[in-house]
């Protein structure tokens, strides 16, 4: 997992001195153990995120029923040994739908976050490194994109593109671009002025090669912090879009859609319809927020607490 490996780099920075003094390098397991002890909340977040990933991967084994199959006999059934978390108005098993929904949430969340941060990161890298007109134009475009609320932008995008998983991912990634661009650009601006970059120029290395080989790897800390923090909001936006009916289409079980109008209609009679998918969303987002917070404290002391 990328985020765990990142703690290695984080601690490696702190440990440059001891290593130089001949102390043994710390292993991967030790790093994780230290992270857990120093940041118990972050470790809890990591555990929740891990649980989300495991659920998504093992959805086929964990589900007790077919998440899509309707069952006219058992509509709005109470939670029971057969239907752990009850069934919805079409007799679909809520528990199995939540388990499979984890897959949709994770895929949409991770892919849109990655797409948005990579695109935004590239723009930030180039505009920060080269400055001048490229910087000016790209920053103005970012300003415009950032002037709109994330959800409104994603809503308009997703409605314009039409309902499909790819389009939802695209729609959610676009509001992330300016945020990623800002973060990467600001760290590139400071890295650009460092002496080793000057040295690389002195050796006659080309600009593009410096930007990608020498500047880019040093933005990995802020990048990881950014993606973990954005993952939670991407999952939230996906839920909101699906809730409003412009998100992930049928038949994929999506947490947001499970809460949509039909659930609200039956909520009085069958509160489990509303309760459990919402708890699933909250836990997933909560986990990635906790993890993101702890990673930020560890990897990026400048942003501490903000």
Partner 1 sequence: MSLVIFVLLRLAPGNMVDILFSTGGYVSESDKAAIEKELGIDRPIWVQYVDWLRDMATGKLGKSYRYDLPAWELIKPLIPVTVELAVLSTIIAILLGVPTGVISAVRQDTSLDYVLRVFSLAGLSMPSFWLGMVIILALVAWIGWIPPITYVSPAENFKIHLVQFLLPALAVGYRSSALITRITRSALLEVMREDYIRTAWAKGQSGRIVIWRHALKNAMLPVITVIGIEFAFLIGGLVVTETVFNLPGVARFLVQAILWRDYPIVQNIVMFIAIVVVLSNLLVDLLYGWFDPRVRYG
Contact positions vs partner 1 (CB under 8 A): 41, 144-145, 147-152, 155-157, 159-162, 232, 236, 239-240, 243-246, 256, 259, 263-264, 267-268, 271, 274-275, 277-278, 281-283, 285-286, 289-290, 293, 304-306
**Which residue from 44, 204, 177, 188 is spatially nearest to 120, judged by alpha carbons?**
177
Burial 84-109 (b: 16+ CB within 10 A, else e): bbbbbeebbbbbbbbbbbbbbbbbbb
| Complex with partner 1: residue 40 or 206, whichever CB lies closer | 40
**Closer CB to partner 1, residue 102 or residue 263?**
263
Q: Quick one: 220 or 267, whose CB is closer to partner 1?
A: 267
CB of 231 to partner 1, least distance (A): 12
Between 251 and 305, CB nearer to partner 1: 305
Q: How far is the CB of 233 from partner 1 (least distance, A)?
A: 9
Q: How far is the CB of 174 from partner 1 (least distance, A)?
A: 9
DSSP letters, 34-64, are HHHHH-HHHHHHHHHHHHHHHHHHTHHHH-S
Cβ atoms of 76 and 86 within 8 Å: the answer is: yes
CB of 269 vs partner 1, minimal distance in Å: 11
Output the smallest distance, CB 207 to partner 1, in A.
30
Burial of 235 (0-12, 13-18, 19+ CB in 10 A): buried
> Whose Cβ is closer to partner 1: residue 211's or residue 299's?
299
**Which of 144/194 has CB closer to partner 1?**
144
**CA gap 238, 284 in Å, rounded:** 12
Q: How many CA atoms lie within 13 A of 118 on its CB side?
A: 7
Q: How far is the CB of 282 from partner 1 (least distance, A)?
A: 5
- Least distance to partner 1 from the beta carbon of 98, Å? 13
- 41 or 54: whose CB is closer to partner 1? 41
Q: What number of other Cβ atoms are within 10 A of residue 219's Cβ?
A: 21
Instruction: Quote the DSSP letter at residue 302.
Output: G
CA 33 to CA 174: how far, in whole Å?
A: 36
Q: Check if the beta carbon of residue 42 is closer than 8 Å to that of residue 293.
A: yes
Residue written as token pair 């409003």:
244
φ, ψ of residue 93 to 5 degrees: the values are -75, 120
- For 196-237, give the DSSP string: HHHHHHHTT--HHHIIIIIIGGGGHHHHHHHHHHHHHHHHHH
The residue among 124 and 247 lying less far from partner 1, judged by its C-beta, is: 247
Question: Smallest gap, in angstroms, from Cβ of residue 62 to partner 1?
Answer: 22
């Amino acid at each position: 997992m990328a985020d765990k490996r990142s703690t290695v780099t984080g601690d490696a920075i702190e440990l440059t001195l001891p290593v130089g003094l001949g102390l043994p390098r710390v292993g991967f397991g030790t790093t994780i153990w230290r992270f857990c002890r120093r940041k118990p909340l972050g470790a809890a977040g990591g555990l929740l995120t891990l649980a989300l990933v495991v659920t998504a991967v093992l959805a086929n084994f964990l589900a007790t029923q077919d998440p899509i199959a309707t069952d006219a006999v058992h509509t709005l059934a109470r939670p029971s040994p057969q239907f752990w978390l009850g069934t919805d108005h079409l007799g679909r098993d809520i528990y199995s739908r939540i388990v499979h929904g984890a897959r949709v949430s994770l895929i949409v969340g991770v892919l849109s976050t990655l797409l948005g941060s990579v695109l935004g990161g590239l723009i930030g890298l180039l505009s920060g490194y080269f400055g001048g007109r490229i910087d000016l134009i790209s920053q103005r475009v970012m300003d415009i994109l950032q002037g709109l609320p994330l959800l409104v932008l994603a809503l308009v995008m997703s409605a314009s593109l039409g309902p499909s998983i790819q389009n939802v991912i695209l729609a959610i990634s676009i509001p992330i671009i300016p945020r990623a661009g800002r973060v990467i650009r600001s760290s590139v601006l400071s890295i650009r002025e460092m002496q080793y970059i000057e040295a690389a120029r002195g050796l006659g290395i080309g600009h593009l090669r410096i930007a990608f080989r020498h500047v880019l790897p040093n933005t990995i800390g802020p990048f990881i912090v950014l993606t973990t923090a954005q993952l939670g909001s991407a999952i939230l936006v996906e839920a909101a879009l699906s809730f409003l009916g412009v998100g992930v289409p049928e038949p994929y079980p999506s947490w947001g859609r499970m809460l949509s109008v039909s659930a609200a209609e039956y909520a009085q009679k069958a509160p489990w319809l509303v309760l459990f998918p919402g708890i699933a969303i909250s836990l997933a987002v909560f986990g990635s927020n906790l993890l993101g917070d702890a990673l930020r404290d560890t990897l990026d002391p400048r942003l501490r607490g903000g």
